[in-house]
Structure 1
Amino acid sequence: MTLAAWLTIGLFVFTYLGMAAGGIRGLRIDRSWIACFAAVLLLVSGALSMQDAAHHLDPGALLLLLALMLISAQFDFSGVYAWLNRYLTEHAERPAVLLLGVVLLGGLLSAVLVNDIVAFALTPLLCRSLHLRGLEPRPFLLALALSCNAGSAASLIGNPQNILIGQAGGLDFWGYVAVAGPPALAAMAIVYAVIWLQWRHRWGEARPLIAGETAVELIHGARSYIKPLLASLALLALFATALPRELSALLIAVLVMVSRRVDSRDYVSKVDWNLLLLFVGLFLVSGAALQLPQLAQGAAWLAEHGLLPQGVISLATSSLVAGNLIGNVPFVVLLLGLMPELSHAVLIGLALMSTLAGNLLLIGSVVNLIVAEGAKRQGVRIGFVDYARSGVPVTLLSMTLAGLWLALGGWLPW
Structure 2
Amino acid sequence: MNNWQAWAALAVFAAAYVLIITEWVHRVAAALGGAALMLAVRATDDQAAFFSTDSGIDWNVIFLLMGMMMIVGVLKRTGLFEYLAIWSVKRARAKPFRVMAMLVVITATASALLDNVTTVLLVAPVTLLVCKRLGLKPAPFLIAEVLASNIGGIATLVGDPPNIIIASRGGLNFNDFLVHLAPLAVLLTGVLLVMCRIMFRRFFVHDEDRAAEVMALNEREAVHDHRLLAQGLAVLTLVIAGFVLHPVVHYAPSVVALLGAGLLVAISKVEVKDVLAEVEWPTLAFFAGLFVMVGALIETGVIETVSQALADATGGNPLGAVMLLLVASGILSAVVDNIPYVATMAPITADLVHTVGEPYGHVLWWALALGADLGGNATAIGASANVVVLGIAERNRTPISFWTFTRYGAPVAAVTIAVSALYLWIRYFALR
Range into which the TM-score falls when normalised by the shorter chain = 0.7 to 0.9
Cα contact 1:65–1:160 (8 A) shared by 2: no
Distance 1:408 1:123, change over 3 A: same
**Counterparts of 1:51 and 1:390, CA distance in 2:** 35
Gap regions ≥5 residues in structure 1 = none
**Counterparts of 2:251 and 2:366, CA distance in 1:** 17
Query: What is the aligned partner in structure 2 of residue 88 from structure 1?
Result: 88
Deviates more, 1:93-102 or 1:258-267: 258-267
Query: What is the aligned partner in structure 2 of residue 33 from structure 1?
Result: 32
Query: What is the letter of the counterpart of residue 288 of structure 2?
Result: L
Query: What is the aligned partner in structure 2 of residue 230 from structure 1?
Result: 238
Query: What is the letter of the counterpart of residue 204 of structure 1?
Result: V
Distance 1:214 1:375, change over 3 A: farther
Q: Compare the two structures and name the one with the higher helix fraction.
A: 2
- Map of 1:98-177 to 2, 5 A cutoff? 98-120=99-121, 122-123=123-124, 125-135=126-136, 137-166=138-167, 171-177=172-178
Q: TM-score, normalised by structure 2?
A: 0.72
Cα contact 1:231–1:256 (8 A) shared by 2: no
What is the DSSP-based 3-state SS (H/G/I as helix, E as strand, rest coil) of the residue aligned with 1:359? coil
Deviates more, 1:267-276 or 1:178-187: 267-276
**Counterparts of 2:110 and 2:168, CA distance in 1:** 21
**Counterparts of 1:39 and 1:216, CA distance in 2:** 53
- Map of 1:129-278 to 2, 5 A cutoff? 129-135=130-136, 137-166=138-167, 171-199=172-200, 203-206=204-207, 207=210, 208-209=212-213, 220-221=225-226, 223-224=230-231, 225-239=233-247, 241=248, 243-244=249-250, 246=252, 250-251=255-256, 253-255=258-260, 257-259=262-264, 260-261=267-268, 262=270, 266=275, 269=279, 273-274=284-285, 277-278=288-289
Indicate yes or no: 2:423 matched with 1:405: yes
**Counterparts of 2:57 and 2:174, CA distance in 1:** 15
Pick from 374, 396, 399: which aligns with 1:356? 374
Pick from 5, 10, 13: which aligns with 1:13? 10
Aligned-residue sequence identity (percent) comes to 17
**Counterparts of 1:16 and 1:60, CA distance in 2:** 16
Cα contact 1:48–1:288 (8 A) shared by 2: no
Query: What is the letter of the counterpart of residue 349 of structure 1?
Result: A
Deviation at 1:102, TM superposition (A): 1.0
Deviation at 1:121, TM superposition (A): 5.2
Query: What is the letter of the counterpart of residue 40 of structure 1?
Result: L
Query: What is the aligned partner in structure 1 of residue 356 from structure 2?
Result: none
**Counterparts of 1:315 and 1:334, CA distance in 2:** 13
Cα contact 2:114–2:158 (8 A) shared by 1: yes
For 1:8-47, what per-residue CA distance to the aligned partner results, in whole angstroms no more than 9, with x for missing partners?
313431344246425497544546425532553366x9x7
Pick from 62, 66, 80: which aligns with 2:63? 66
Query: What is the aligned partner in structure 2 of residue 306 from structure 1?
Result: 314
Deviates more, 1:377-386 or 1:116-125: 377-386
Cα contact 1:114–1:160 (8 A) shared by 2: yes
What is the DSSP-based 3-state SS (H/G/I as helix, E as strand, rest coil) of the residue aligned with 2:3? helix
Cα contact 1:139–1:199 (8 A) shared by 2: yes
Cα contact 2:84–2:126 (8 A) shared by 1: no
Gap regions ≥5 residues in structure 2 = 354-361
Q: How many residues align?
A: 403
**Counterparts of 1:39 and 1:100, CA distance in 2:** 43
Deviation at 1:404, TM superposition (A): 2.8
Deviates more, 1:99-108 or 1:82-91: 82-91
Q: TM-score, normalised by structure 1?
A: 0.74
Cα contact 1:145–1:368 (8 A) shared by 2: yes
